[in-house]
């Protein structure tokens, strides 16, 4: 049973294209996140949603638009892909609001923009 | 964002204890100290967290200095599967939402 799943696992695309990455968690958690890990392996938070409401937006370009159709899903749509968008994108979820519970991460989506 | 400082890399032998240090001199009174690790080609995985007292769980122990400006993650008996990048993080809250700010981490190598 996969707790946090992401699709696709690998994504290779051309510059200028629009693509989406999907994330689903079956843990019943209220809060979900998107992180980006670049080529230097730094892991940075991008967005956080709590019960489908955007809570954290870390100065990410407008080309990135998260969408949460329900609290079990947080998808990431990227418009006009650029070379610098190549990275590994991780989705994560956490049980509660303002609590100390841990975050559970997905396996990552490896995006390569050519 | 609160900052942590960790050595870039450490090396140890299998079945020996490993002590991974972390400095967080700017920690505030309400900051929890979290440790996550990332195995090769996987997402980060929670290890342990604490506030003031030392903490133990099945994976590791966390020793927190009395002034809370540093902490040490202890793996009591390292195995080859413990080879990973270990991140020490000060948990921040944004409008009640937990925010983890990852640093560079410590790459732990375990020798057979």
pLDDT at B52 over 80: yes
B43-75 b/e (C-beta count within 10 Å ≥ 16 → b): bbbbbbbbeeeebeeeebbbbbeeebebbbbeb
Query: How far apart are alpha carbons A68 and B107 in whole angstroms?
Result: 34
Q: Taking residues B54-72, report their average pLDDT.
A: 94
Percent of chain B with pLDDT over 90: 74
pLDDT of B103? 86
pLDDT of B28? 85
Q: Which residue has the higher pLDDT, B32 or A1?
A: B32
pLDDT of A72? 94
Q: Per-residue confidence at B109, pLDDT binned at 50, 70, 90?
A: very high
Q: Per-residue confidence at B4, pLDDT binned at 50, 70, 90?
A: very high
Q: Does B94 touch chain A (CB under 8 A)?
A: yes
Q: Which residue has the higher pLDDT, B14 or B3?
A: B14
pLDDT of B75? 97
Q: Which long-range contacts (CB under 8 A, 24 or more apart) does B43-49 make?
A: B43/A4, B43/A90, B43/A92, B43/A105, B43/A106, B43/A107, B43/A108, B44/A43, B44/A90, B44/A92, B44/A103, B44/A105, B44/B87, B44/B102, B45/A105, B46/A102, B46/A103, B46/A104, B47/B73, B47/B86, B48/B73, B49/A100, B49/A102, B49/B91
B76 and B17 Cβ atoms separated by less than 8 Å:
yes
Residues of chain B in contact with residue A106, where contact means CB-CB under 8 angstroms, are 43
pLDDT of A99? 56
pLDDT of A110? 97
Q: Does B39 touch chain A (CB under 8 A)?
A: no
pLDDT of B34? 93
Q: Which residue has the higher pLDDT, A99 or B105?
A: B105
pLDDT of B45? 95
A5 and A32 Cβ atoms separated by less than 8 Å:
no
Mean pLDDT by 10 residues, chain A (114 residues): 90 97 94 91 89 83 92 95 96 76 92 97
pLDDT of A100? 63
Shortest Cα distance, chain B CAs vs residue A45, angstroms: 7
Question: Which residue on chain A is closest to B40 by alpha carbon?
Answer: A107
Q: Per-residue confidence at B91, pLDDT binned at 50, 70, 90?
A: confident
pLDDT of B98? 78
């Amino acid at each position: 049973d996969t707790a946090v799943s992401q699709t696709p696992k690998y994504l290779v695309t051309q510059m200028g294209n629009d693509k989406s990455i999907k994330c689903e968690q079956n843990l019943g958690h209220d809060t979900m996140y998107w992180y980006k890990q670049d080529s230097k392996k730094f892991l940075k938070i991008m967005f956080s949603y709590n019960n489908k409401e955007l809570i954290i937006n870390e100065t990410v370009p407008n080309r990135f638009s998260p969408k949460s159709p329900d609290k079990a899903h947080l998808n990431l749509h990227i418009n006009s892909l650029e070379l610098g968008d190549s990275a590994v994108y991780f989705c994560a979820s956490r049980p509660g609001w303002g609590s100390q519970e841990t975050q559970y991460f997905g396996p990552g989506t490896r995006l390569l923009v050519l | 964002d609160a900052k942590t400082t960790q050595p870039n890399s450490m090396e140890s032998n299998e079945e020996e204890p490993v002590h991974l240090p972390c400095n967080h001199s700017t920690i505030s009174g309400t900051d929890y100290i979290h440790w996550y690790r990332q195995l090769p080609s996987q997402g980060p995985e929670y290890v342990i967290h604490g506030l003031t007292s030392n903490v133990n769980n099945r994976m590791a122990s966390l020793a927190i200095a009395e002034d809370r400006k540093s902490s040490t993650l202890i793996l009591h008996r390292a195995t080859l599967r413990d080879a990973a990048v270990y991140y020490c993080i000060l948990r921040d809250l944004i409008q009640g939402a937990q925010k983890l700010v990852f640093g560079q981490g410590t790459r732990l190598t375990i020798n057979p």
